[in-house]
Amino acid sequence: MLTFEGFLRFTTTRNLIFNYFHTQTKPSLYINGLHYSLYLCKMDSRNGETPKTTEDARNAIMELVNLITVPMSVISVIRLNVADSIWQNGSNTPLTASQILSRSFPSGSSGDPENLQRILRLLTSYGVFNEHIDDASERRYSLTDIGKLLVTDEKGLSFGLYFLQHHQEELMKAWPLMHEVVLDSSTEPFVKANGGETAYGMYQKRPEMNELMLRAMSGVGAHFMTSVLEGYDGFDGVERLVDVGGSAGDSLKMILAKYPNIKEGVNFDLPDVVAKAPQIEGVTHVGGDMLEFIPKGDAIFMKWILVIWTDDEVKKILSNCFNAIPVGGKLIVCEPVLPCHSDDSNRTRALLEADIFCMTIYRAKGKHRTEEDICKLGKLVGFKSFRAIYNDSLYTLLEFKK
């Protein structure tokens, strides 16, 4: 049996520790040497390194071929209300597919439980459900921590809305044209697929799309804002704060609750978006285009904004921010920041996938950026100092001072 030290040395020479930190696998996998090497084999093929065997490579490519079944299965369970049916006020009791269907559709037909079970099995393998098999080989399903994010909260929100927003028919039409953005980056696949209309242009014209976008942002925003704000004191001393692209005003509401020194919050977004935003105490909703103008404040906050704009547009937006704050004022940018290396962690994959989503749907040359990229753009428009704060696992705070 290996000593702990010997084990660590062994794993380090084989680059296994490197895999561990970047893949966030469970440490328990390291206890057993056999499991360890099996896992290495799996990670090798996922890391883009040479797979251990041709069989692994064949399995890996067969997984890629049908990867579309994963988000489509999630969409199906959202439409079938599966997470809420299992959750039932937190009981999370494992249920068979037919029990789930009878809870989801109490007065309707019982549907086809076998087909639902096929979907649940796939999503079990992606960590959305736990599968429980009894002595009679009957399968029951409960929610994992990932599955719980699909449960509707008391405000009617969940991550499910963000899934639905991303998979609307008009957005789905863009994907078969994705490769064209490599050959010609002057137009977005979304625009080509939708008769010349941009995504945000369409959201503004179609109230149901505008509403879904607002609710989708509310459904995911608060989850991240809590950790973003933890341990950050950059809003101290600010009296008037502007949130650029603030959507329904959820971020501003959380910031104002934590910082009573902020007397006035301005939620700035497109006119049709703020027209639908709810009243929030201490917050004024202002409609406009951030490329044209940004309302004045002691400090400016913006979350999840720069990813949809080109470098020139980002410079314009940052410059409008610069002009809207006094000398010594702050711009606090909260963005999903790309790591330098392309690894196979959930975080990196989520960021790289979102980057491709933005390229296909919003702006062919809008993009996710590294900390260094964003710092450079801020300095170019005149900001004097910069610091980055990594409080949350997905979003980074990038603080510029004028």
Ligand X SMILES: C[S@@+](CC[C@H](N)C(=O)[O-])C[C@H]1O[C@@H](n2cnc3c(N)ncnc32)[C@H](O)[C@@H]1O
Q: Which stretch binds ligand X (CB under 6 A): 145-153, 275-283, 288-296, 367-375?
A: 288-296
Does residue 188 bind ligand X (CB under 6 A)?
A: no
Q: Which of 189, 245, 249, 297 binds ligand X (CB under 6 A)?
A: 245
Query: In angstroms, what is the minimal distance from the CB of 250 to ligand X?
Result: 6
Stretch 202-221: interaction string toward ligand X, x if CB under 6 A: ---------------x---x
Q: Which of 51, 246, 265, 329 binds ligand X (CB under 6 A)?
A: 246
| Pairing outcome for strands 139-143 and 395-401 | unpaired
Query: In angstroms, what is the minimal distance from the CB of 195 to ligand X?
Result: 20
Residues contacting residue 221 through CB under 8 Å, at least 6 positions apart: 247, 250, 251, 303
| 64: exposed, middle or buried (Cβ count in 10 Å: 0-12, 13-18, 19+) | exposed
Length of the chain: 402
Does residue 270 bind ligand X (CB under 6 A)?
A: yes
Does residue 38 bind ligand X (CB under 6 A)?
A: no
d(CA 17, CA 282): 49
In the complex with ligand X, the residue whose CB is nearer, 122 or 254, is: 254
Q: Which stretch binds ligand X (CB under 6 A): 149-157, 178-186, 234-242, 284-292?
A: 284-292
Does residue 290 bind ligand X (CB under 6 A)?
A: yes
- The residue number whose beta carbon is nearest to ligand X equals 245
Does residue 247 bind ligand X (CB under 6 A)?
A: yes
d(CA 109, CA 255): 47
Does residue 305 bind ligand X (CB under 6 A)?
A: yes
| Separation of first and last alpha carbons in the chain | 60
Residue 13, number of CB atoms within 10 A of its CB: 9
Does residue 273 bind ligand X (CB under 6 A)?
A: yes
Does residue 304 bind ligand X (CB under 6 A)?
A: yes
Query: In angstroms, what is the minimal distance from the CB of 203 to ligand X?
Result: 7
Does residue 289 bind ligand X (CB under 6 A)?
A: yes
Query: In angstroms, what is the minimal distance from the CB of 198 to ligand X?
Result: 10
What's the one-letter identity of residue 259? Y
DSSP-assigned letter for residue 142: E
In the complex with ligand X, the residue whose CB is nearer, 19 or 251, is: 251
Q: Which of 162, 200, 232, 322 binds ligand X (CB under 6 A)?
A: 200
What's the one-letter identity of residue 246? G
Helix axes 113-125, 97-104, angle to 10 degrees: 110
Does residue 269 bind ligand X (CB under 6 A)?
A: yes
Residue 367, number of CB atoms within 10 A of its CB: 19
Would you say 246 and 252 are in contact if contact means Cβ atoms under 8 Å apart?
Answer: yes
For Cα atoms 399, 223, 322, give the angle at the middle one, nearest 5 degrees. 20
Residue 356, number of CB atoms within 10 A of its CB: 14
Binding footprint of ligand X on the chain (CB under 6 A): 200, 217, 221, 245-247, 251, 269-270, 273, 289-291, 303-305
